Amino acid sequence: MKRAFSGVGARLALALFVVLAGALAIVYLIVVPSLESRLVNGRVSELERAAPGIAKELPADRFLWPDFLEAASASANGRVVVYDTVGPPTALVIAGDSQAFRSTDVQRDPIALAAAERQRAVSGTTTHGDQRFAEAAIPVPGSSAVLLVSATLRESLATVRVTRERLLIAGVFALVVALTVGYAGSWLFARRLRRLERAAERIAAGNFDEPITDSGSDEVGQLARTFDRMRQRLAQLDHARREFIANASHELRTPVFSLGGFLELLRDEDLDEGTRREFLATMSEQVDRLAKLATELLDLSRVDAGRLRIERRVVDLDEVADTVVDEFTGLAVAGDRPLSLSEAGSAYVLGDEQRVLQVARALVENALVHTPPGTHVQVRTSEGALGVEDDGPGIPAAHLEHVFERFYRVEGQRASGSGLGLAIARELAQAMGGTLELDSEPGRTVFRLRLPVADAVAPVEEHVSV
């Protein structure tokens, strides 16, 4: 319940209520009084306009006054009184006394007294008994009399009272409606926000399965859609992370189990020397494989954590090609895969020499390992690029897209690595501002590392963390 009143819904409804109540108060306190004064003033000025005419037309003969004044009273729609002002003003003739008030009320009428005293027209409102009257008094020209025209304000004031009452009723009704509609509307709004909040909590708890839906086209709807895109992205990342861990542990487990098996076999004391050497050689291979895998995993984790240090200097691709060919000549000869070199002469790029070497090694190693004996492998440099080409059977088209993915290997191929080499190579190429491209068809496979071309004279020193 506490939440219901402290929530955004209740606050919005309350704000609406306060604004509406303020508007109604202004209407009530300003509009109603001005309506009242307009009606009263209107009545007073009607009488002001009628009084001089009646005073002027008043017959000289006092015996004619009652009839004359009766007619005048009817046309002015009020009571007409003539006072004698010799001595204290006394009402001489009172006409139009039909309006249910006592004639004696007018004996000491303040407006008539004021007109008699000042000898000029006076008008205004006055109260007789419990009723208000609009009045206009004027001295009768050429005599000592004062004429008073007076009309009750009962109807006008009743109109004002009715208006005020209706306004009050309408106001209370409008406030109740505003509070209800405002609260309901903002409750619906707040409910959408609460749904988003629950979705965020689900995501925070690691549950990415349930989609976040909100059909609205407003800001909350947009927020929900953005939220859902974030959820999908997180789900992908989470999936990739789990897959990575599963793959990595699988890759680690195989050589470790194999080593364990060989250790068991080596315990056998009757083992002849030849077999022992064979076992040790295989074990050494497995350890190499483990070491390579550990390095690759470390590289990948650095890339993912954005902690890979990449230098940006001028690198001579020809030098890199020389080094790599030298390093792999032994392996190439042993595997009967001729390794040759074709240099551009000047192929300077911007990059990190160690990382360029690492990429070149991965490519040459692949060309020597994933091809049948007799395959020719060539390392070729050109402006801004280092290519590793082989005339092996190539990579089937269906796999071309995937060989750069982590842990991806083309099935049924002779040598099996862990499938991380190309993934890392591409990450490194991109980290140096370059690309790693692949073209493969039966008889010709080319991996090409392209890097930003450098001006050989002006080495740029810069460290980039990727």
Ligand X SMILES: Nc1ncnc2c1ncn2[C@@H]1O[C@H](COP(=O)(O)OP(=O)(O)OP(=O)(O)O)[C@@H](O)[C@H]1O
Q: Does 418 bind Mg ion (CB under 5 A)?
A: no
CB closer to ligand X out of 43 and 448:
448
To which residue do tokens 């010709």 refer? 444
Residues 357-386 that bind ligand X (CB under 6 A): 362, 366-367, 370-371
CB closer to Mg ion out of 184 and 294:
294
Q: Does 413 bind ligand X (CB under 6 A)?
A: yes
CB closer to ligand X out of 138 and 425:
425
Residue 450: contacted member of ligand X, Mg ion, none (CB under 5 to 8 Å, by partner type)? none
User: In this chain, which stretch among 149-157, 360-368, 408-416, 454-462 interacts with Mg ion, using CB under 5 A?
Assistant: 360-368
| Enclosing H/E stretch for 385 | strand 385-390
Q: Which two tokens stand for residue 211?
A: 């989609």
Give the number of C-alpha atoms closer than 13 A to the C-alpha of residue 205, restricted to the C-beta side.
Answer: 9
Angle 273-305/219-266 helices, nearest 10 degrees?
Answer: 160
Angle 353-369/317-334 helices, nearest 10 degrees?
Answer: 30
| Enclosing H/E stretch for 68 | helix 65-76
- CA-angle at 321, arms to 320 and 325, nearest 5°: 120
Q: Does 417 bind Mg ion (CB under 5 A)?
A: yes
Asked if residue 122 lies in contact with residue 111, where contact means CB atoms within 8 angstroms, the answer is yes
Phi, psi of 2 (to 5 degrees): -60, -45
Indicate the residue whose CB is closest to Mg ion. 421
Residue 395: contacted member of Mg ion, ligand X, none (CB under 5 to 8 Å, by partner type)? ligand X
Q: What is the CA radius of gyration of the chain?
A: 53
User: Binding residue for ligand X (CB under 6 A) from 259, 400, 410, 466?
Assistant: 410
Q: Does 409 bind ligand X (CB under 6 A)?
A: yes
How far apart, in whole angstroms, are the C-alpha atoms of residue 290 and residue 268?
25
Question: What is the pattern of x (binds Mg ion, CB under 5 A) and - over residues 198-237?
Answer: ----------------------------------------
Residue 409: contacted member of ligand X, Mg ion, none (CB under 5 to 8 Å, by partner type)? ligand X
User: Binding residue for ligand X (CB under 6 A) from 89, 121, 418, 436?
Assistant: 418
Which of 390, 388, 395, 392 is closest to 372 using CA atoms?
Answer: 392
Phi, psi of 302 (to 5 degrees): -65, -45
Q: Does 196 bind ligand X (CB under 6 A)?
A: no
Residue 262: contacted member of ligand X, Mg ion, none (CB under 5 to 8 Å, by partner type)? none
Which residues form the interface with ligand X (CB under 6 A)?
296, 362, 366-367, 370-371, 390, 392, 395, 403, 408-410, 413, 417-423, 445
